[in-house]
Chains A and B, each alone.
Chain A
Amino acid sequence: MTTITNKAENPTAHLSAEQIEALGAELDAIRQEVLDARGETDAAYIRKMVDIQRKLELASRAALLVSIFPPAWIAGTVGLSVAKILDNMEIGHNVMHGQWDWMRDPKIHSTTWEWDNASTSDGWKHSHNEVHHTYTNIVGKDNDLGYGIMRVDEEQRWYPLYLAQPLWNFINACFFEYGIAAYDLELGRNLRLPKEKRSEKFKADLAKTLKKIRKQATKDYVVNPALALPTGSFLPALAANFTANVVRNIWSHSVIMCGHFPEGVETFELKSIPEKETRGEWYLRQMLGSANISGSKLMHTMTGNLSHQIEHHLFPDLPSSRYAEVAPKVRAVFDKYGLNYHSAPLPQQVYSAWHRVVRLSFPNGWLATTNAKNLPSQLKLLYAMTTADKRKRRVLQRLLESAAAKKEMVKAA
């Protein structure tokens, strides 16, 4: 994929400035409808969700006290995994977005909420709500794109190191909460600075995050297993907590990858974004930069309704329980203005996102020009590019791109 402005066919080229503003007004009207209707049933929904999550977690942890018995281990681990997913996705993510602030309940409010995750709510709210939701899919601005460690766009220069990015992505998935915490701290950028140049704010945030990580790890890997000691369940309980954390991490990583990574989701160049982006232009960027996951009600709940990523990015502060109901209206706006509403089932979206990660781990055009027959010669080329110096690599890259373009033309003919 290429940033939208560098594409041969810009998917927004057919829209005039007036049409973009009209589209914005239609989306505003959809938003207002929900604001007007929001009330008691919504409040009951989130309270019920919190109630279910807490009781499920409590019951699962109780089961793990006797997790030496395999059925208890299985039930406890499944329950704890689901509870952690609900805590992070349908509850934590959405409460910290301020989706429930209108209730004025100090116990369910973006300014007071804390979640079962390595990153602190304050750090996450900054990197997610302010940076990601404002600069969605702008290459170089939105760190959610590749989290600063991956090549997610053709326009990013290829280095041999990127060959390992499928592996990194997998490791990142398994330990996603720590990845997010590091990313909220902008750890990479800050660690590159000499110690004395790191800001006070970074040091304070780092201390807070480490404290949070320590408390979370103590809970899962010390206190709860220790409580299970009397039945000889220390190790099973420890394993269950570890498993639940990994399940939660892989699940949330997958859902989040599906939101912005699948092939066909647009990215943007910073210089193409007007200094004063209008409401309509902002909406348009959110519409094209997100992808939905289609599926059942249970699936929507388990993804924290991020399966409605498009609706979420258009209306990040509307209650998540309302996304399903606005989706058809939003889709109608896409259709009316000739835009692609990107939606597919979970396996398809996960495959698509991973395909992109793998494809971009190779130089541009390499995967497209490779088949079973030419694999040996392609591997030789890849080896040459990996070991070549900068100039030679650029030449080889150009040759590869022209070969890919030729193949594309043949296919088109």
Chain B
Amino acid sequence: MSTTTAAPDASARTGRLRTGFRSLLDAAVTPLSVDDLLDHFAPLRTGAATGLQGRIVSVHKETADAATLVIKPGRDWAGHIPGQYVRVGVDVDGVRLWRTYSLTHGPRRDGRISITVKAIPGGAVSQHLVRQARAGQMIQLAQAEGDFVLAPPVAGRRQKLLLVTAGSGITPVIGMLRNLYSRDEAAQEAARAAYDIVLVHSAMKRDEVIFGAELRAHAAAGRLRLIERHTDTDGLLTTADLEAEVPDLAERTAYACGPAGLLDALEAFYDERRLTLHTERFRPTVVDVDAEGGTLTFAGAAATTVETDGSVPILDAAESAGVLMPSGCRMGICMGCVLPMRSGAVRDLRTGELTVAVPGETHPDGVKIQTCISAAAGDCTLDH
């Protein structure tokens, strides 16, 4: 008993000492902190004041307009499960923009992570990452998120999986596959025994398939059954094709990642059959709403007003005007961008639904709105 209590005491004492020393040093550099200064020398260390950052270690081309970035994350990186995504903050023309990308490796022994980015026409961040990013550059990171992950292996049972991906929708799946099959022989054997995988992948053309060679190698080695569809020769992937290609579809746990059109069709198909489908979306589906817009007033510390139209999310409009906004997934999922609206009306860009805040009638602290998928439907006052 005494030994168990002695240990924490000693560590508490060194802890106090360290905190005391730290606050002395902080007092020597106020209004900065020692961490602010250390960031100029070691931005990847534990407890960086700037937050979690990563250094790009290498950039290599996957196809003509896709590239993989290998990143050394800061020491506060908490790890990830294959299939999860990470938010990255990239300075494009001096402006910090945040986007979400799937992690394309399982946890690696060297502690590095990777994302694979497809340059979307007109996409500020994706174009920048594919064409401008260089080894040595720093990017901002958030911790890995997402529940698009495989169920852990069950002893003595081979799980039957169906993975349906299109375009850059392959990125979370490649992370899963690499985790299963890029390790030593024994681990590969175990993975093969645990999962029976069918991968249906659709892309525009054969040479536009990101990780094409790697996927075909997996198929050739018998680790999975690969069904490739190339839109230029086979046409768009339909649910009828899927049923024909995968007769035991109903027995397979299904995962899908790709453009909204494909996912919507798959969800309807699976709903009809009362089967479960795990999906991963990269962008919200936006409905057409009448452009209304108005003046956004930030009544808190930001203390600014921003003119916006009814088609732009409040988050984007405010950021363009230089307001520091909390943000997250930018597609209405993570609630990282929520702010209380004191008065006014906003429209959900995904559903067209109207949310109204009336002082005296709605909650005194305001109505919480997701700024990334809400556009102003008239003048609004937000607490920020």
Contacts and interface: CB of A to CB of B under 8 A. Distances in A.
Interface of A: 38-44, 51, 54-55, 57-58, 61, 98, 101-107, 109, 111-112, 114-116, 212, 215-216, 218-219, 223-224, 227
B27 A223 contact: yes
Interface stretch (B5-13, B89-97, B239-247, B250-258): B89-97
B287 interface: no
Nearest to A105: B96
Interface string B8-33: 00000000000000001001111110
Chain B: number of interface residues, binned into ranges: 20 to 34
B208 interface: no
Contact of A61 (B24, B28, B319, B324): B28
A200 to B, nearest CB: 18
Given A55-B40, A111-B301, A111-B302, A104 B28 contact: no
Contact of A112 (B24, B37, B324): B324
Contact of B40 (A51, A115, A116, A216): A51
B302 to A, nearest CB: 6
Residue of A55, A103, A104, A107 most packed against chain B (CB within 10 A) = A104
B218 to A, nearest CB: 40
19 contacts: A39-B93, A43-B94, A44-B94, A54-B36, A54-B37, A54-B40, A58-B37, A101-B322, A101-B323, A102-B94, A104-B96, A104-B319, A104-B324, A111-B324, A116-B31, A212-B31, A219-B29, A223-B27, A223-B28
Contact of B324 (A58, A109, A216, A218): A109
Interface string B317-328: 001001110000
B94 A219 contact: no
B37 A102 contact: no
Contacts of A103: 91, 94-96
A216 B30 contact: yes
B94 A38 contact: yes
Contacts of A42: 94
B276 interface: no
A212 B30 CA distance: 9
Contact of A215 (B27, B50, B95, B302): B27
A66 to B, nearest CB: 16
Interface string B159-172: 00000000000000
A101 B306 CA distance: 14
Contacts of A115: 31
B156 to A, nearest CB: 51
Interface string B90-117: 0101111100000000000000000000
Contacts of A227: 28
Nearest to A212: B31
A182 B87 CA distance: 44
B324 A219 contact: no
A215 B40 contact: no
Dominant secondary structure at the A interface: helix
Nearest to A227: B28
Nearest to A125: B303
Interface of B: 24, 27-32, 36-37, 40, 49-50, 91, 93-97, 301-302, 319, 322-324
Nearest to A120: B31
Residue of B32, B94, B95, B302 most packed against chain A (CB within 10 A) = B94
B50 to A, nearest CB: 6
A111 B97 CA distance: 18
Nearest to A317: B322
A227 B27 CA distance: 11
Contacts of A39: 93-95
Nearest to A41: B94
B28 A224 contact: yes
Contacts of B29: 57, 219
A156 to B, nearest CB: 33
Nearest to A109: B324
List the 3 shortest-distance A-B pairs measured between CB atoms, nearest first.
A43-B94, A101-B322, A114-B31
A104 B322 contact: yes
Given A223-B27, A223-B28, A40 B324 contact: no
Nearest to A44: B94
Given A55-B40, A98-B322, A104 B50 contact: no
A112 B155 CA distance: 53
A219 B30 contact: yes
Contacts of A223: 24, 27-28
A374 to B, nearest CB: 55
A39 B91 CA distance: 10
Contacts of A112: 324
A360 to B, nearest CB: 36
Given A58-B37, A104-B324, A112-B324, A215 B93 contact: no
A180 to B, nearest CB: 16
Contacts of B49: 107
A264 B323 CA distance: 38
Contacts of A116: 31
Contacts of B28: 61, 219, 223-224, 227
Given A55-B40, A103-B91, A107-B50, A215 B324 contact: no
Residue of A43, A107, A111, A114 most packed against chain B (CB within 10 A) = A111
Nearest to B140: A105
Nearest to B97: A104
A382 B28 CA distance: 51
Given A54-B40, A114-B31, 12 more contacts: A38-B94, A42-B94, A43-B94, A58-B37, A103-B91, A106-B324, A107-B50, A216-B31, A218-B30, A219-B27, A223-B24, A223-B28
A43 B91 contact: yes
Contacts of B319: 104
Contacts of B24: 223
B31 A102 contact: no
Contacts of B323: 101
Contacts of A44: 94
A218 B28 CA distance: 8
Nearest to B31: A114
Contacts of A51: 40
B126 to A, nearest CB: 17
B166 to A, nearest CB: 32
Contacts of B96: 103-105
B50 A40 contact: no
A214 B110 CA distance: 47
A378 B37 CA distance: 59
Nearest to A216: B30
Nearest to B32: A54
Nearest to A98: B322
A280 B150 CA distance: 64
Contacts of A98: 322
A80 to B, nearest CB: 12
Contact of B91 (A40, A54, A106, A109): A40
A67 to B, nearest CB: 15
A106 B30 CA distance: 18
Nearest to B39: A107
Contacts of B32: 54
A101 B323 CA distance: 7
Contacts of B302: 111
